Amino acid sequence: MNTDLILILDAAAFAARKHRQQRRKDAEASPYINHPLALADILAREGGIDDARTIAAALLHDTIEDTETTVEELEARFGKRVAAIVFEVTDDKSLPKDERKRLQINKAASKSREAKLVKLADKISNLRDLISTPPADWRDARKMEYFQWANEVVSGLRGVNASLEAAFDEVYALGMAAMK
Ligand code: NDP
Ligand code: ZN
């Protein structure tokens, strides 16, 4: 039995069920699960990551923050390590948005290697979405603010995967050039 494959499939199915009522913010309101799947794809294909727990954590990365899922639930089903990575990439929603954004910048460098990889993939995915399938009501100024904030977060994530950092730099440069 391939336990790595089973962990990944179980995480994908769990995330699909938890996010089943949610949509992304693009004009077509894409199914939310496309986003965690994109992170897993970026990590495996572009980052060369073959650690099943990191891929599973990527699939689950928004479950605590955006659904009713608890860290204990993830721990019981996917083990302590996967749950800990997801918890590390989860914002404290009791704090005001500005504070959460500031904390992401300040805390990035002290995250575990696995959490940094998931966060890098998250920022790559979100910047790509802002270029190809942005929220309909976002003007360039708002997109640009998001790009700049993401770049500040990524400053603290560097040193874990050169390919992913290059992928981020590429989408950042592409987006910023288009918005000039
Ligand atoms: P939000 O946090 O409201 O939205 C961005 C988040 O939405 C992403 O991090 C991503 O989170 C999720 N998301 C869902 N669908 C998409 C998609 N299609 N493309 C990209 N992301 C998607 O944005 P911010 O508050 O960060 O706004 C950006 C900047 O704009 C900020 O600096 C803020 O100060 C400013 N702002 C401007 C306003 C205005 O001009 N009216 C109003 C409010 C803020 P995840 O990966 O977790 O799903
Ligand atoms: Zn995300």
How many Å lie between the centroid of ligand 2 and the Cα of residue 177?
A: 24
- pLDDT tens digits, 73-111: 999 999 999 999 999 999 999 999 999 999 999 999 999
- Pick the closest to residue 86 from 52, 109, 56 (CA basis): 56
How many Å lie between the centroid of ligand 1 and the Cα of residue 99?
A: 14
Q: What is the CATH number of the domain that holds 113?
A: 1.10.3210.10
Each residue's pLDDT, cut to its tens digit, for the chain (180 residues) gives 999 999 999 999 999 999 999 999 999 999 999 999 999 999 999 999 999 999 999 999 999 999 999 999 999 999 999 999 999 999 999 999 999 999 999 999 999 999 999 999 999 999 999 999 999 999 999 999 999 999 999 999 999 999 999 999 999 999 999 997
Separation between Cα atoms, residue 90 and residue 84, nearest integer Å: 10
Name the domain count of the chain: 1
What separation, in Å, do the N-terminal and C-terminal C-alpha atoms of the chain show? Answer: 52
Question: Measuring from atom 38 of ligand 1, which residue has the nearest CA?
Answer: 142
Q: Which ligand 1 atom is the nearest neighbour of the CA of 146?
A: 28
- Domain containing 22 equals 3-179
Q: Which ligand 1 atom is the nearest neighbour of the CA of 142?
A: 30
Please report the pLDDT score of residue 97 as a whole number. 98
